[in-house]
Amino acid sequence: MSTPNGAKLGDTSEPVDFWCAFKRVHEVLRTRVIADAAEAAGLSEPDLTILASLSRAGGALRQSELAAALGWDRTRISHQLTRMAKRALVTRERTGGAAVTVTLTADGRAAVTAVRPLLDAAVRRHFTDRLSAREIETLRSVFDRM
């Protein structure tokens, strides 16, 4: 192992293996959690991400604020909102300049209210219940740093 940091990962594994393991865990957990929670309410993962962010903000946000809060590209937000507006989960209206404010509809609010306890339960069952308190502490500290 010629690089200075290689030893941290052990002599038999490369960083790319650590990366693949991380990707695999994310994929498995995502599939299980969404299957348990979102599908029961007829919501996809991106639906849920948008609705949760709007709900946390009180029900309305500008698209650029939504993009910043989620770390999403502007076009990704735009496409997703177009699909969600078609299903009456949100409404959009210009609010000064080129800015657009997104607002939860009654349907959207009902959907996020219904799915939240399911999502909490799914995350517990598939993820946090399988971790010790010390592991959760470590993960949270790592998440906050990234």
Partner DNA sequence: CTGTTAGCGTTGACATCTCAACACTAGGAA
Partner DNA sequence: TTCCTAGTGTTGAGATGTCAACGCTAACAG
SS3 10: coil
Q: Tell me the backbone φ, ψ of residue 16, rounded to 5 degrees.
A: -65, -30
Closest distance between its own copies and the C-beta of residue 95, in Å? 26
In the shown chain, the binding pattern of residues 25 to 44 toward its own copies, with x for contact by CB under 8 A and - for none, equals: xxxxxx--x-----------
d(CA 121, CA 128): 10
Residue 52 touching its own copies (CB under 8 A): yes
Backbone phi, psi, residue 14, to 5°: -95, 160
State the Cα–Cα distance between residues 96 and 75, nearest whole angstrom: 20
Interaction of residue 125 with DNA, rule CB under 7 A: no
| Position among 3, 11, 58, 94 found at the interface with its own copies (CB under 8 A) | 3
* Helix, strand or coil, per DSSP, at residue 90: strand
Among 9, 29, 60, 92, binds DNA (CB under 7 A): 92
Is residue 46 involved in binding DNA (CB under 7 A)?
Answer: yes
Considering the rule CB under 7 A, would residue 67 count as an interface residue with DNA? yes
Helix (H, G, I), strand (E, B) or coil at 38: coil
Residues that bind DNA (CB under 7 A): 31, 35, 39, 44-47, 62-64, 67, 72-83, 92, 96-100
